[in-house]
Amino acid sequence: MKQIRDYFRHGEKVQQLIQEQRKQRSPGRSLGAPGLNCLVLGGGGREYAIAWRLARCDSVATIDVVPGNAGVALFSRVIDFSPHDVGRLQQHLAASAIDLAIVGPDELIAEGLGDHLRRASVAVVAPSKEAAKIEWSKTFAKELMTEAHVPTPRWETFTTPEQARNALDRNKWAAPLVVKADGLAAGKGVTICRTLEEALMTLATPPTNSGRVVFEEVLEGEEASLQALVDGETVVALPPARDHKRVGDGDIGPNTGGMGASSPTTVLPDEDAQRVADELITPIARALVARGTPFRGVIFAGLIRTTSGFKVLEYNARFGDPEAQVTLPRIGGDFAKLMVALGEGRLKEYVAQNPLRLSQRAFVDVVLCAEGYPGSPRVGDRIEGLDALPDGVYGFHGATASTPTGGFITTGGRVMHIVAGGSNIAEARDRAYQGAERVTFTGKFYRSDIAGSGVAVA
């Protein structure tokens, strides 16, 4: 209890400091006018989606993105320095009178950028490094789930891959099983091994050939992604989504950072989201408060629906990618004000006065990838056809640069997210695929079954 009281006392002090510092460094903007200066950290499709959503808010005056990409530079100020450079970042916060900072990528959150930003008295949407441990240590997440009685597949942690191999040799674990790297692995640290040989091979290959390894039982069921805004013990569910992690149609091939997504999803309908968040995210938020490491940011729960209900496969400490691309367009009202309230520790009061409103429109994201992804993608190919996208179909840039002669080239594996809305999933999907055909670059490929099984029912 003392820790909770300290946290909230400290929170009030921080808020006062924020208000005072804003007045001093930006007198023209003090007391709420003429708008918020926002900073988005990261440079992929998720950060594009965050900036895109902020750009649609009346309360927003400016948007900076660091390091951003060539597409997001079309409507925001992209400043090309490394977000790992904390000193440079702090200068930027002061010089640009930043009011709100939202951190996208897991590695920035895991290295404690949320803590650095909060010390600069900015409203920050990113948890502390300690609270983010739910993402950067799979073992910690599993321990917390066990402590908080959150249903999760059976698991065991091994300090080294050798110990994990021993458990297989002694038939303590058998295939099929899931092998997970304990730390961050850019979406590539989870392998479902159907045979013993596959498990042994996985333990001999990065990222699971060093450091701690987690074994988990394989469960059958459909998956859903549930993101929630979390401020201490306050948990506000966002619309659920479904993503597609494997590189190939029919969910075959290696895992990727995400090949597409859709929202809403029949696996977890919007109307059930808050109840499921109360069951599967709130206990974790409470456990973190009790440990003196309250969470302030976005908790993403990767869920599987089994015959005995939902179970948690993993937690992430940030917006999902590509889930943000299909859920943020569905959030009504002034998203920037909502983010400031979260970042300042006022989420409960804010949503009591401004309940979250969701659009009933469906959104689908089809990711256009570069040949070679998720291995080494080819880069430097010219992107054509962006000006031929149908109205209301968007190209959310993921990995692009501009050329001196105008236009864009590819710079990474997940090049472009083609995001489209519709009155239902089938319509949104058709429109997203129309867009996916029109945008071209050498070596382009994409899955043809994104949002597939939702078509008939959503």
| Footprint of ligand GLY (CB under 6 A) | 187, 243, 258, 316, 320-321, 323
Give 264 or 320: the residue with its C-beta nearer to ligand GLY: 320
Number of continuous H segments (helices) and E segments (strands) in the chain: 15, 23
Give 258 or 395: the residue with its C-beta nearer to ligand GLY: 258
> Residues 6 or more apart from 368 whose CB is under 8 A from it?
414, 415, 416, 417, 418, 436, 439, 441, 444, 445, 446
Give 42 or 395: the residue with its C-beta nearer to ligand GLY: 42
* Locus of tokens 């333990």: 203
Give 73 or 126: the residue with its C-beta nearer to ligand GLY: 126
Is the CB of residue 28 less than 8 Å from the CB of residue 34?
A: yes
* Locus of tokens 């809305």: 421
CB of 293 to ligand GLY, least distance (A): 21
CA dihedral 7, 11, 14, 20 (to 10 degrees): -150
Quote the CA–CA distance of 402 and 383 in Å, as a whole number: 10
- Rounded alpha-carbon distances, angstroms, from residue 350 to 79, 283, 339: 31, 22, 10
Quote the CA–CA distance of 228 and 123 in Å, as a whole number: 18
Quote the CA–CA distance of 108 and 111 in Å, as a whole number: 5
Is the CB of residue 450 less than 8 Å from the CB of residue 364?
A: yes
Give 298 or 436: the residue with its C-beta nearer to ligand GLY: 298
CB of 320 to ligand GLY, least distance (A): 4
CB of 316 to ligand GLY, least distance (A): 5
CB of 120 to ligand GLY, least distance (A): 27
Give 189 or 294: the residue with its C-beta nearer to ligand GLY: 189
Alpha carbon 311 to chain centroid distance? Answer: 19
Is the CB of residue 327 less than 8 Å from the CB of residue 50?
A: no
- Tokens representing residue 25 in the block: 């460094």
Quote the CA–CA distance of 299 and 111 in Å, as a whole number: 17
Give 73 or 303: the residue with its C-beta nearer to ligand GLY: 303
Q: Which helix (H) or strand (E) covers residue 63, if one does?
A: strand 60-67
Q: Nearest residue to ligand GLY, using CB? A: 320
Give 115 or 323: the residue with its C-beta nearer to ligand GLY: 323
Which amino acid makes up residue 88? Answer: R
CB of 321 to ligand GLY, least distance (A): 4
Give 316 or 400: the residue with its C-beta nearer to ligand GLY: 316
Tally Cβ neighbours within 10 Å of residue 319. Answer: 26
Is the CB of residue 346 less than 8 Å from the CB of residue 11?
A: no
Is the CB of residue 79 less than 8 Å from the CB of residue 66?
A: yes
Give 323 or 381: the residue with its C-beta nearer to ligand GLY: 323
Is the CB of residue 108 less than 8 Å from the CB of residue 41?
A: yes
